[in-house]
């Protein structure tokens, strides 16, 4: 008789893989089932344009994974299974319409000198932030790495109070609720400096005026200077391939092209899964779903807790994203040649423009001037393209999942199949303004619209790459619903992981690792 696995997983996003690695290492038998042809969810790499050019499908930046508790605990074994990083000391920069630029490098003196070129007061403020970063990071990262149960949250708050004092703890709480604009206006004077940092809020769904978003520009700016940025050598899928190999080395199994149609449960307890082809797989200890909140309700047919199911069905997703993968004869001909050194170049000229873009996308309009994240991975990792050639990873923030109109007034269709190429032309036209002649160097391009992202990975609802808004009402204790931020559900033995669960989006594998520790007791 075939032994039931201890844990069955629905989906193979990196949180599920991290959870499975930890459990398998501790002796659990695990099996993972993935509807797509390859594991990894939004983290995968392929030749989407021209043979020999390797593009990261969605996630590119692996800094959070490299610094995660999961990686720190398993670095040696993951390296044995092929994980390789490509670090850079020049993580990000912004180009501006006036021809100026500003970038953060892993050199405090160099970065501060760049800021001084815009504002002496801002250089001083940056130096003060740099000096205080160690202590601030300990508190903030401690919170982001803590299980989000009320008792754990209360414990963190008490420890912060003891370490920082009443005023310091209140200052931290105030900062965690601030919008990017409020914090940046309070801290800096130069609009260029503010725009450089505010662009990071747009990587999630924190437009400049959204409460709770200040922490992301702060952390990315300070961490970029302190640690640089880490990409995956050969592609972001190096982390996925290493985790799959680690699972299999410990006796686990990863099944692709295996669509889960139902999570089985009886008597208030999850018992296994039913696949689309009718096969049933029972689990003796846990069913773990790395799915969107709405999909969890659909797969269970309802958990039996009406309030919980309603929270998951009304879970709010961030605006969509469009990706443009480009094979290049050469790097963009930036008006500032120094930009050719950076992994990311943001084209987000002002906080007002970012706020307008976000409002347009939320209203269902194609933005007239979207925020563009121009990834230049071959600057860091030349192995991704033939000698002397390059790839660009263009992430368009934000766009609507469903189009109602065009703020630019030139795209009449509301069908992404037709609007995608036209929107890509708009994006490349903007890039040409900052780097004249870039379009002439294109060897091939592949446009990935929000509906294509969702079709490839149902967790990316409407092209939302972070599986749900991180606004305060559904973050911390409320992600995805109050009382369930630790991955538990109303059904015994059914657990939820992924970006929809605290601590949310990014490649840090936080929800997967914390769930594994919860289940294994260590």
- Residue pLDDT, tens place only, 332-353: 999 999 999 999 999 999 999 9
Q: How far apart are CA 220 and CA 182, in angstroms?
A: 17
Q: How far apart are CA 137 and CA 350, in angstroms?
A: 27
In the predicted model, what is the mean pLDDT of residues 249-258? 98
For the record, the structure tokens of 501 come out as 């669960």
In the chain, DSSP finds a helix count (H) and a strand count (E) of 17, 21
Whole-angstrom CA distances from 90 to 86, 97, 105, 252 are 12, 21, 4, 38
Q: How far apart are CA 387 and CA 329, in angstroms?
A: 10
- How far the first Cα of the chain sits from its last, in Å, is 31
pLDDT exceeds 90 at position 161: no
pTM for this prediction: 0.96
Rounded to 5 degrees, what are φ and ψ at 244?
-60, -45
Given a contact cutoff of 8 angstroms between Cβ atoms, the answer to whether 342 and 93 are in contact is yes
Q: Which of 153-162, 434-443, 447-456 has the lowest mean pLDDT?
A: 153-162
- pLDDT bin (cut points 50, 70, 90) of residue 165 is confident
Consecutive H or E run containing 13: none
pLDDT above 70 as % of the chain: 98
Q: How far apart are CA 480 and CA 253, in angstroms?
A: 28
> So what's the pLDDT on residue 143?
82
Q: How far apart are CA 48 and CA 241, in angstroms?
A: 19
In the predicted model, what is the mean pLDDT of residues 399-420? 98
* Parallel, antiparallel or unpaired: strands 269-275 and 280-282: antiparallel
Q: How far apart are CA 148 and CA 294, in angstroms?
A: 21
Q: What is the DSSP letter of 5?
A: P
Q: How far apart are CA 293 and CA 280, in angstroms?
A: 23
Three-state DSSP at 503 gives: coil
pLDDT above 90 as % of the chain: 92
pLDDT exceeds 90 at position 153: no
For the record, the structure tokens of 389 come out as 């050639």
The 10s digit of each residue's pLDDT in 413-445 is 999 999 999 999 999 999 999 999 999 999 999
For the record, the structure tokens of 433 come out as 């303004």
Q: Which residues pair with 95 in a beta bridge?
A: 101
Q: Which fold has domain 7-43+64-84+235-315+467-520?
A: FAD/NAD(P)-binding domain (3.50.50)
Q: Which residues pair with 373 in a beta bridge?
A: 346, 395
Return the axis-axis angle of helices 150-177 and 120-144, rounded to nearest 10°: 170
* Parallel, antiparallel or unpaired: strands 344-347 and 371-375: antiparallel
Q: How far apart are CA 334 and CA 379, in angstroms?
A: 14
Tracing tokens 């509301």 back to the chain, one arrives at: 414
**Domain spans of the chain?**
7-43+64-84+235-315+467-520, 100-230, 317-456
| Residues belonging to the chain | 522
pLDDT exceeds 60 at position 1: no
Q: Prior bond to 503 cis, omega within 30?
A: yes
In the predicted model, what is the mean pLDDT of residues 286-307? 98
């Amino acid at each position: 008789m075939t032994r039931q696995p201890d844990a069955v997983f629905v989906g193979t996003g990196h949180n599920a893989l991290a959870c499975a690695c930890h459990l398998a290492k501790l002796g659990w038998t695990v099996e993972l089932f993935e509807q797509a042809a390859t594991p990894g969810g939004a983290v995968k790499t392929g030749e989407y344009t021209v043979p020999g050019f390797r593009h990261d499908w969605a996630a590119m930046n692996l800094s959070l994974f490299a610094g995660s508790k999961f990686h720190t605990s398993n670095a040696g074994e993951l390296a044995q299974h092929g994980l390789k990083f490509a670090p850079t000391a020049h993580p990000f920069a912004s180009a501006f319409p006036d021809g100026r630029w500003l970038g953060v490098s892993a050199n405090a003196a160099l970065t501060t000198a760049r800021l001084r070129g815009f504002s002496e007061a801002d250089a001083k403020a940056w130096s003060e932030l740099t000096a205080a970063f160690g202590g601030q990071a300990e508190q903030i990262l401690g919170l982001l790495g803590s299980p989000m149960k009320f008792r754990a949250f209360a414990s963190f708050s008490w420890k912060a109070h003891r370490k920082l004092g009443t005023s310091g703890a209140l200052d931290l709480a105030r900062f965690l609720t601030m919008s990017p604009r409020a914090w940046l206006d309070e801290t800096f004077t130069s609009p260029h400096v503010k725009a450089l940092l505010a662009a990071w809020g747009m990587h999630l769904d924190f437009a400049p005026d959204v409460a709770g978003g200040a922490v992301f520009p702060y952390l990315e700016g300070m961490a970029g200077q302190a640690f640089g940025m880490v990409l995956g050598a050969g592609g972001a899928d190096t982390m996925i391939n290493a985790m799959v190999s680690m699972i299999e080395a410990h006796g686990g199994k990863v099944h692709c092209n295996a669509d889960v149609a139902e999570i089985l449960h009886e008597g208030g307890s999850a018992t296994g899964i039913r696949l689309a082809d009718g096969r049933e797989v029972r689990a003796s200890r846990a069913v773990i779903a790395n799915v969107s909140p709405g999909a969890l309700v659909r797969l269970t047919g309802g958990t039996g807790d009406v309030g919980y199911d309603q929270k998951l069905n009304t879970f709010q997703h961030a605006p969509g994203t469009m990706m443009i993968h480009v094979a290049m004869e050469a790097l963009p001909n930036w008006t500032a040649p120094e930009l050719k050194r950076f992994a990311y170049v943001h084209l987000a000229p002002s906080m007002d423009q970012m706020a307008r873009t976000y409002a347009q996308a939320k209203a269902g309009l194609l933005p007239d001037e979207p925020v563009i994240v121009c990834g230049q991975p071959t600057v860091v990792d030349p192995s991704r393209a033939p000698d002397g050639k390059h790839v660009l990873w263009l992430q368009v923030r934000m766009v609507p999942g469903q189009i109602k109109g065009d703020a630019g007034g030139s795209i009449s269709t509301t069908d992404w199949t037709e609007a995608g190429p036209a929107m890509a032309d708009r994006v490349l036209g903007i890039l040409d303004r900052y780097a004249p002649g870039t379009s002439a160097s294109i060897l091939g391009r592949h446009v990935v619209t929000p509906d294509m992202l969702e079709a490839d990975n149902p967790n990316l609802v409407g092209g939302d790459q972070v599986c749900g808004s991180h606004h305060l009402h559904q973050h911390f204790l409320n992600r995805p619903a109050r009382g369930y931020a630790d991955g538990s559900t109303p059904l015994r033995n059914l657990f939820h992981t992924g970006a929809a669960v605290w601590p949310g989006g990014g490649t840090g594998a936080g929800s997967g690792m914390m769930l594994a520790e919860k289940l294994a007791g260590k």
